[in-house]
Amino acid sequence: MNGEIEEIRGTFKPELIPAATGGNIDDYEKALHTLMKFVGSMSSALEQVSGRGANAIVYQAGKRMGHEASKLMEKTDDLEKAMGELSEVLGQEFYFEMWKPSSQDNYTVERGDETEVKLLFMDCVVRQTLRRTGLPQKGPLCYLLYGYIVGAVEEVMDIRGKLDIDHIGPNACLKTLTIKWSGK
């Protein structure tokens, strides 16, 4: 019935992997939107209380997630291969590709003992959460993704990295990943 909560009644018994998750796409949509609201509220409250320190807290949380998620990935020194592995770790919800302006020949740019690569994030659940909650981009929540990427790259390449935002947009965000070879 419309507007009323439909109760699910049935038998429940302990099982290792439930045969059914319960709920349909509408339930998933509502749960996702509620979670987006929670996360958005937490992010803005964190910013209100901790100021710019909020970015560091969220970055650290993301970094930990990145290290955890990439623990089983194959270690490599090849940045482009690492990006491929990173893409697997991040999955469809953080779909990205390496990007370069037409005037540049290669995706990677060497600057002394540093290598830079531009990453174009097309699908991003953080961006979607911000749009759902009406929060601006480039805030603390975006630092979760920076931390995640840096943590994953550090884990896969065993090297120090950092991520900077070049540009944010409603459909894609461009970021520069810098890795420092001397940080190995």
CB 132 within 8 A of CB 32: no
Structure tokens at 124: 């991003």
**Residue located via tokens 């480039």:** 138
Neighbours of 159 (CB within 10 A): 18
122 near another protein, rule: CB under 8 A: yes
Q: Is 11 in the site for another protein (CB under 8 A)?
A: no
User: By CB under 8 A, what part of segment 83-112 binds another protein?
Assistant: 95, 99, 101-102
Q: Give me 69's structure tokens.
A: 């998620």
Give yes or no for residue 138 binding another protein (CB under 8 A).
no
Binding string, 26-45, against another protein, x = CB under 8 A? x--x--xx--x---------
CA distance 154 to 184: 9
44, 135 in Cβ contact below 8 A?
yes
Which residue of 45, 166, 183, 184 would you call a contact of another protein, by CB under 8 A? 166
Report if residue 143 touches another protein, rule: CB under 8 A.
no
Provide, rounded to whole angstroms, the least separation between the CB of residue 74 and another protein. Answer: 27
Report the phi/psi class of residue 91: left, alpha or beta, with left for phi > 0 and alpha for psi in -120 to 50. left
**Closest to 45 in 3D by CA, of 141, 127, 128, 110:** 141
Rounded Cα distance, 128 and 36, in Å = 8
Minimum distance, C-beta of residue 153 to another protein, in the bound complex (Å): 21
Nearer to another protein, 67 or 127 (CB): 127
120 binds another protein (CB under 8 A): yes
- 124 interacts with another protein by CB under 8 A: yes
In the complex, the smallest distance separating the C-beta of residue 115 from another protein, rounded to whole angstroms, is 21
The binding site for another protein (CB under 8 A) comprises 26, 29, 32-33, 36, 95, 99, 101-102, 120, 122-125, 127-129, 131-132, 166-174
